[in-house]
Structure 1
Amino acid sequence: MTGTTGAVAAPHFLATRAGEEAYRRGGTAIDAALAAAAALTVVYPHNTALGGDLVALVRTPDGTITCVNATGTAPAARDAEELRRRHGDRLPTRGPDTITVPGAVRGWAELRRFGAALGWAAQFDAAIAHAADGVPVARSLAAALVADQAELAADPGSAAVFAPGGRFLEEGEPLVQARLAESLRRIAAKGPDELYGGSVGTALAAGLQAAGCPLTVADLAGYAARVTPAISASLQGFRVHTSPPNTQGFALLRTVRALAELGSPDVPAHVLARLFHDGTRVRDTLLADPEFARTDVENDGFAEIVAELRSGAPRPAGAAATPSVPRGDTVGVAAADSRGFAVSIIQSVYDSFGAAVLEPETGIILQNRGLSFSLDPRSPNVIAPGKRPKHTLMPVLVTRGDDVRWVTSTMGGHGQPQIHAQVLLGLLGGRTPREAVSAPRWVVGPRAPGDRSDTVHFEADVARATVTDLEGDGFPTREVPPRTEFLGHTNVVAVAPDGSLTAGSDPRSDGSAAVVVPGTH
């Protein structure tokens, strides 16, 4: 095992460093990805936390690719009628009514079963040290603290951690999370059940109930990750693998399938934009937990959109829509090694700092993923006890024959399928991982008041011909600064046909990428 070469890329350099150390201690790509994922819950708390979710793909040396879906469920006491009486037709953006059961830690335990070489506790070493000793506030976190001051100041737990002494921390100042460090130590020492029913879980549930959330110890103890085969589609001799519903992975595969039917991935920007807009339509209307509602997200309207693109028919304008801004909600870790393990992990608290509820006894931030549920009783995604909401997280692996070629992971909220598609097309076109994640990008969908469902936000350095093509097809466009986190950040590991590894981390984040060769430090 000590002879394993491994690559890892993450959106914070300290998380990447934790993954590197796991390789040097004899770990596999699974160990490296988990160490990075745990560290991120400390150094990037606006994006991920012990109180958040996880979706991952893991590839084992025998070529099997499996999805670990650790998306949280609605608490057993959630009552849709009560929520409608208090909130009308839509849940609030933050607060106790948006909290779902945390899934990430249970997801870590499931991932380990596929080939972790180091002990459970080893993946927590860096995270515990960073929480106890403190880390400098990163650029992305500092921006989130400015943007979310009002919500965080209103929550005593958040204010105590992020505004010690009454002033919010600024970039470079030390962030110390003593209570979180203790929770991490207990989970490291006693295993995942310490959160799912042990002393940490008991304290967490008690604190949330005091804050008005009905989550109980029984909700935590009864939670299980869903382990299923990945779903996939082919394009030009490659196979793209991702996560099935309740996640939006299907939207990427609809684009891949359409490009295959059109005969080439080399299509004008407006063709991609039409596919992106159509995938969003299906996600917003049909995506739900398949154990509660079975809908045909893979095929609904697919033949029609392909026929429309072949005919060159005019495109109807998009409707007015509610903005969806992927600000500080998600992290992605990519890892692969010379033994044949590969992992794409996506973790999230949904909005920046999730529900803006930090349970003070445990130091754990809770996600507001419940906001993704509908309160419309006619919706397949209507909230119900034990149900998982429609979900944005979607890891990706790409194979050619029996071999992994790329591991990709991205932040970007509802834009994740579109970001993955643009990065993958760059990789297929010969870009290196670094070039692919750094390239200018654009995303279809509402992100500001007044936007339509088909509004395109494009980075200022996107080619003018691309913008002209989009506008020529009737897409409203809005320019944003280049390399902005507003349009997500991505990490990629590439495995060449000879087995050599390269990696790239998005300059839109605070991350880094590394390849660890045996005997190097």
Structure 2
Amino acid sequence: MSNPQAEGVRAQRCMVASGHPLAAQAALQCLREGGSAVDAALAADAILGVVEPMATSIGGDVLAMVVAPDGEVSSYNGTGRAPAALDPALLDALPGQRIPERHPYSCTTPGVVRGWHDLHQRHGRLPWPRLLAPAIALARDGFAVAPVAAREWALFDRVLHADPVCAALYRAGRPPAAGERFANPGLARTLQAIASDGPDAFYLGEPARAAAQACQAHGGVLAAGDFAEHRGDFRAPVSTRFRGLEVFECPPNTHGVAILHALDALEPQALAADDPGAVLQTVRAMGEAMRHASQTVADPAGNTVCTVVVDADGLAITLMSSIFKRFGSGIAVPDCGFVLQNRGFGFAGPGHINSAAPRKRPYHTVVPGAAKRDGRFHAGFGVVGGLMQPQGQLQLLVRLAAWQQPLQAALDAPRWRLESATALAIEHGMPEAVTRALRAAGYTDPVGAGELGGRSDFGGAQAVLRAADGSLLGASDKRKDGIALGA
């Protein structure tokens, strides 16, 4: 007999899984009004940028995986590029000639707003202003800060103090507690301009000019011209087969290829669910895949949020946006209500395929995923949390496809996280036999590692799956504030 709690939420027509209840509710309302899955995901993502400002905003990037009702799969890369004025010689005086984590040089052009519009132009049904209206209202009127968001806000309060504008915007030194109301009228005004005049209000308007001035005031080189030049692109995804599924990931500059590399290594293995050795094989496959990705992934030309939506017509989208590290660069745009992302930290040192260069996209951790079975949509999924993203996705896919675990149970299960080639964090609740096998194999406990108050971040997943009977199952990770809703 099935366990409904372990399965997740079941619905017949449509499903939403998102990292915040307000985002999920707004997405479901869009679907009820006849909007597409893309409309719903965009409305949710705009809200996430309001209610989880440490994770995402219009100052960040967006990527998406879209599966059409006929099974056609496309990915969208809305990641921004390094400033045109980022001469590699500027980095000569920096340690290792690399951009530090929250240095002004880490600011890359935001891709979210253009990405929203590009996706809406191709797949949207509701009017553009309708999608942003709920986020505008929340930013203007305020919202109750959710528990996980409040905890992360407090943990990363230290990031908010370097820039006076950021300190004032996000209440440095007095972060809001869970349940406390927070409003962002500057962001409401910026979103209203975007709703009224489209993406040009952002890329050619005052937000671009103010962002450039803010970055340059701190010594950075991001310019208004970088905003004007920004474009995203639809691209064919990369894929592989695993346990009867065809798994799709975004191509480089993201490291989605690491997931596929690991799945290829695991496909011929037995991977018995009750064998601690199967977990060890998975860890080793992921470690090798991440090492390979770090050497090969670059622009061929953190912290994150995720929403997965399937509509009544069968259109499915996994949408993920991010400002990278929590609160991004820590540089806020005056009167506009957002911080600039710090994706430039993803560039490698000189002489590497991923070394910094003008107008180049950095190595990107955001990896929205999807899977098909028998040529049709089977699942959409994403795991937030920087380098936890490919690791969490791999663990989720093994649990779902190899071990046939129920959806919510697979999301709730304890995880491991590689912090380096030999340091492995193991989440509380992992079976003792598995922990012993991993430690016996030489993986050490990274005591004090990770950003979350000295502990590792095991991510937060959102997933929607098409069950064998045609119904939809949705699940939202208990590690975040989210929820799954269906109709």
**TM-score between the two structures when normalised by the length of structure 1:** 0.86
Tell me the residue number matched to 2:367.
394
Tell me the residue number matched to 2:3.
none
> For residues 120-165 of structure 1, what are the alpha-carbon distances to aligned partners after superposition, in whole Å with 9 as ceiling and x for unaligned?
111111110110011122222222232222320221122212218x
Which residue of 411, 433, 450 maps to 2:407?
433
Deviation, 1:280, is 1.7
Aligned counterparts of 1:500 and 1:145: Cα–Cα separation in 2 = 37
Tell me the residue number matched to 1:313.
none
| Aligned-residue identity in percent | 35
1:207 maps onto 2:214 in alignment: yes
Tell me the residue number matched to 2:238.
231
Deviation, 1:101, is 0.2
Which residue of 404, 415, 419 maps to 2:392?
419
Which residue of 341, 349, 352 maps to 2:326?
352
Task: Indicate the SS of the match to 1:195.
Answer: helix
The residue type paired with residue 432 of structure 2 is R
Aligned counterparts of 2:305 and 2:483: Cα–Cα separation in 1 = 13
Tell me the residue number matched to 1:454.
422
Which residue of 220, 244, 248 maps to 1:241?
248
1:277 maps onto 2:309 in alignment: no
Which residue of 301, 307, 313 maps to 1:333?
307
Q: Describe how 1:117-196 pairs up with structure 2 within 5 A.
A: 117-163=125-171, 167-196=174-203
Task: Indicate the SS of the match to 1:443.
Answer: strand
Task: Indicate the SS of the match to 2:93.
Answer: helix
Q: Describe how 1:355-370 pairs up with structure 2 within 5 A.
A: 355-370=329-344
Task: Indicate the SS of the match to 1:353.
Answer: coil
Aligned counterparts of 1:491 and 1:463: Cα–Cα separation in 2 = 24
Task: Indicate the SS of the match to 1:233.
Answer: strand
Aligned counterparts of 2:352 and 2:461: Cα–Cα separation in 1 = 32
Which residue of 47, 50, 53 maps to 2:58?
50
Aligned counterparts of 1:177 and 1:125: Cα–Cα separation in 2 = 14
> For residues 500-521 of structure 1, what are the alpha-carbon distances to aligned partners after superposition, in whole Å with 9 as ceiling and x for unaligned?
11101000001111002xxxxx
Query: Which moves more between the two structures, 465-474 or 392-401?
Result: 465-474
> For residues 70-121 of structure 1, what are the alpha-carbon distances to aligned partners after superposition, in whole Å with 9 as ceiling and x for unaligned?
1110010111111222555332221422100001111112222332111111
Aligned counterparts of 1:167 and 1:409: Cα–Cα separation in 2 = 32
Tell me the residue number matched to 2:437.
469
Task: Indicate the SS of the match to 2:110.
Answer: coil
| Cα distance, 1:36–1:265 mapped onto 2, change above 3 Å | farther
Aligned counterparts of 1:272 and 1:381: Cα–Cα separation in 2 = 26
Deviation, 1:373, is 0.8
The residue type paired with residue 328 of structure 2 is G
Please say if residues 410 and 416 of structure 1, whose CA atoms lie closer than 8 Å, have aligned partners that are also in contact. Answer: yes
The residue type paired with residue 226 of structure 2 is D
Query: Which moves more between the two structures, 121-130 or 261-270?
Result: 261-270
How many residues are treated as equivalent by the alignment? 468
The residue type paired with residue 282 of structure 2 is L
Aligned counterparts of 1:115 and 1:168: Cα–Cα separation in 2 = 38
Tell me the residue number matched to 1:288.
298
Deviation, 1:354, is 0.4
Aligned counterparts of 1:182 and 1:289: Cα–Cα separation in 2 = 34
The residue type paired with residue 110 of structure 2 is P
> For residues 346-378 of structure 1, what are the alpha-carbon distances to aligned partners after superposition, in whole Å with 9 as ceiling and x for unaligned?
11111110001111221121111111112x321
Aligned counterparts of 2:95 and 2:285: Cα–Cα separation in 1 = 34
Please say if residues 18 and 462 of structure 2, whose CA atoms lie closer than 8 Å, have aligned partners that are also in contact. Answer: yes
Tell me the residue number matched to 1:509.
480
Please say if residues 60 and 115 of structure 1, whose CA atoms lie closer than 8 Å, have aligned partners that are also in contact. Answer: no
Tell me the residue number matched to 2:43.
35
Please say if residues 460 and 479 of structure 1, whose CA atoms lie closer than 8 Å, have aligned partners that are also in contact. Answer: no
Q: Describe how 1:34-113 pairs up with structure 2 within 5 A.
A: 34-113=42-121
Which residue of 174, 195, 204 maps to 1:197?
204
Deviation, 1:479, is 8.1
Aligned counterparts of 1:86 and 1:465: Cα–Cα separation in 2 = 45
The residue type paired with residue 382 of structure 2 is S
Tell me the residue number matched to 2:8.
none
Which residue of 269, 279, 283 maps to 1:262?
269
The residue type paired with residue 290 of structure 2 is T
Deviation, 1:249, is 0.4
> For residues 217-275 of structure 1, what are the alpha-carbon distances to aligned partners after superposition, in whole Å with 9 as ceiling and x for unaligned?
21111111121101110012211111111101011101111122336575611111111
Query: Which moves more between the two structures, 40-49 or 217-226?
Result: 217-226
- Superposed CA RMSD: 2.1
Aligned counterparts of 2:456 and 2:334: Cα–Cα separation in 1 = 29
Please say if residues 330 and 340 of structure 2, whose CA atoms lie closer than 8 Å, have aligned partners that are also in contact. Answer: yes
Task: Indicate the SS of the match to 1:94.
Answer: coil
Task: Indicate the SS of the match to 2:397.
Answer: helix
Deviation, 1:478, is 5.2
Task: Indicate the SS of the match to 2:363.
Answer: coil
Task: Indicate the SS of the match to 1:349.
Answer: strand
Task: Indicate the SS of the match to 2:122.
Answer: coil
Q: Structure 1 stretches of 5 or more lacking a match? A: 292-325, 447-452, 517-521
Task: Indicate the SS of the match to 1:185.
Answer: helix
The residue type paired with residue 380 of structure 1 is I
1:408 maps onto 2:408 in alignment: no
**TM-score between the two structures when normalised by the length of structure 2:** 0.92
Tell me the residue number matched to 1:301.
none
Please say if residues 211 and 340 of structure 2, whose CA atoms lie closer than 8 Å, have aligned partners that are also in contact. Answer: no
Aligned counterparts of 1:360 and 1:197: Cα–Cα separation in 2 = 16
Aligned counterparts of 2:312 and 2:34: Cα–Cα separation in 1 = 12
Aligned counterparts of 2:391 and 2:175: Cα–Cα separation in 1 = 34
Task: Indicate the SS of the match to 2:426.
Answer: strand
Tell me the residue number matched to 2:4.
none
Aligned counterparts of 2:260 and 2:89: Cα–Cα separation in 1 = 36
Q: Describe how 1:368-383 pairs up with structure 2 within 5 A.
A: 368-374=342-348, 376-383=349-356
Query: Which moves more between the two structures, 457-466 or 468-477?
Result: 468-477
Please say if residues 106 and 345 of structure 2, whose CA atoms lie closer than 8 Å, have aligned partners that are also in contact. Answer: yes
Tell me the residue number matched to 1:320.
none
Aligned counterparts of 2:178 and 2:248: Cα–Cα separation in 1 = 37
> For residues 182-236 of structure 1, what are the alpha-carbon distances to aligned partners after superposition, in whole Å with 9 as ceiling and x for unaligned?
0000001111121111233233333333343322221111111121101110012
Aligned counterparts of 1:420 and 1:445: Cα–Cα separation in 2 = 16
Task: Indicate the SS of the match to 2:371.
Answer: strand
